[in-house]
Amino acid sequence: MAQLLDGAGELGWVLLKSVIRFVFMVFNNCAAIPSYCLYLVLLQPLRIWDSSAFWHIEGIMFKWLLAMVSSWGWIAGYTVTEWGDDVRPISEEEAMVIVNHQSTGDVCTLMMCLQDKGMVVQKMMWLMDHVFKYTNFGLVSLIHGDFFIRQGKAHRDKQLIYLKDHLEKYYHSRNRKWIVLFPEGGFLRKRRETSQLFAKKHDLPHLTHVTLPRLGATQVILKTLSAQQENGSVSSESGTPNQRGDNKRKGLQWVVDVTIAYPKARPMDIQTWIFGYRPPTVTHVHYRMYPIKEVPVEAKALTSWLYQRFVEKEELLTHFYDKGSFPSQDGQKEAASRPMILDPVWLCAIQSFAFASAYICH
């Protein structure tokens, strides 16, 4: 009986905590998102006068909003430990980020772990499934200039045309630096069986922890944001003559390969992030950087290059699930990890600013 009562009490506390968290997040969204939109409306004269300054300010507020989402997980004890290359030194350079995709929590994890990477978050463009357009954060992403892509063969060709147009219209004009995409084109649990059947049919590697990536969006990004060299790789100067002018952009300089691993291969979904019913969990994120000059852009060579990256992800994740850590890099005796720390004072400050803005507006 005592055990039953203890179990009931624990369940009751989890439910109460979940309700409190949900109510707070509703108020948080109702305060922060309308305030973000109102500030941008008030700043429209600045957009006409100096669009660069306008998008700089918008980027700062966008980063604050993503930090608020990060704080929801951080308060519940959901933290990140980082492995591999340190990407902070390239935070001011242009990069394409490719990430494995297991669940909706992947986006929240990236929102958290990129907060301490300089100006990356405020100058970042996201490619995500169109269903995210209909979430609470959809309006913010639309204003920021993220791209929502529809999956499936029926939409694929048109979506790639739309993506190219979107990049040409918004990426340079809003001074974006990093672009994030999930080349697998869907969640692991949904695509694994199809991917394995495709691999078997075409004599490709059998993957369990990731799926074979799709080429389309990656190739469009490389071709649009970088200039092609004669050897089929991409150079480090991009943009149309108009875009380059006196403020010549170097274009994409890096591909950052991000591998997300969850303990016991149990992905963190956005419901867990919101309600906080899972015990404190450390998500592990591994980075590997590739200079853009090493990346081919021709379809066959790029497909092979991408497949190799995901075979490496498979090996990384297999090692992690077996050993509890990622393998050491070349030249290291032991893999080094580093905890990603969020500043609680800063989180409290931006939350206070959001609620104060909502109070003033009302």
35-49, 233-247, 252-266: range with lowest mean pLDDT = 233-247
Predicted pLDDT of residue 358: 86
Tokens at 184, concatenated: 């697998």
Predicted pLDDT of residue 174: 93
pLDDT tens profile 111-169: 999 999 988 999 999 998 887 787 778 889 999 999 998 877 777 788 999 999 999 99
Distance CA 85, CA 10 (A): 41
Predicted pLDDT of residue 250: 78
User: Quick check: 244 pLDDT over 50?
Assistant: no
Confidence grade of residue 15 (pLDDT, cut at 50, 70, 90): confident
28-37, 61-70, 233-242, 324-333: range with lowest mean pLDDT = 233-242
Q: Which residues, including other chains, have CB under 8 Å from residue 345's CB and lie 6 or more apart?
A: none
User: Quick check: 349 pLDDT over 50?
Assistant: yes
46 with 54: CB under 8 angstroms?
yes
Return the SS3 of 84.
strand
Phi-psi region of 264 (alpha: psi -120 to 50; beta: other; left: phi over 0): left
Distance CA 73, CA 275 (A): 9
pLDDT tens profile 258-311: 999 999 999 998 889 889 889 999 999 999 999 999 999 999 999 999 999 999
The DSSP code for 246 is: T
Phi, psi of 325 (to 5 degrees): -155, 160
Tokens at 232, concatenated: 């089929």
pLDDT tens profile 167-193: 999 999 999 999 999 999 889 888 899
CA geometry: angle at 18 spanning 13 and 20, to 5°?
95
Confidence grade of residue 242 (pLDDT, cut at 50, 70, 90): very low
Any bridge partners for residue 260, and if so which? 285
Distance CA 116, CA 120 (A): 9
212 with 310: CB under 8 angstroms?
yes
Predicted pLDDT of residue 237: 55
In the chain, how long is the greatest CA-to-CA distance? Answer: 77
Confidence grade of residue 2 (pLDDT, cut at 50, 70, 90): low
Classify strands 178-181 and 124-129 as parallel, antiparallel or unpaired. parallel
Q: Which residues, including other chains, have CB under 8 Å from residue 174's CB and lie 6 or more apart?
A: 55, 145
119 with 91: CB under 8 angstroms?
yes
Predicted pLDDT of residue 243: 44
Tokens at 182, concatenated: 């999930």
Helices (H), 117-215: 138-144, 153-166, 188-201
User: Quick check: 359 pLDDT over 80?
Assistant: yes
User: Quick check: 234 pLDDT over 70?
Assistant: no
User: Quick check: 246 pLDDT over 80?
Assistant: no
> What average pLDDT does this structure show over 58-72?
94
pLDDT tens profile 197-221: 999 999 999 999 999 999 989 999 9
pLDDT tens profile 151-164: 777 777 889 999 99
Mean pLDDT score across all residues of the chain: 87
Distance CA 286, CA 333 (A): 17
Predicted pLDDT of residue 50: 94
Tokens 């104060």, residue located: 356
Confidence grade of residue 33 (pLDDT, cut at 50, 70, 90): very high
User: Quick check: 232 pLDDT over 60?
Assistant: no
> What average pLDDT does this structure show over 25-39?
92
Tell me the whole-structure pTM to 2 decimals: 0.89
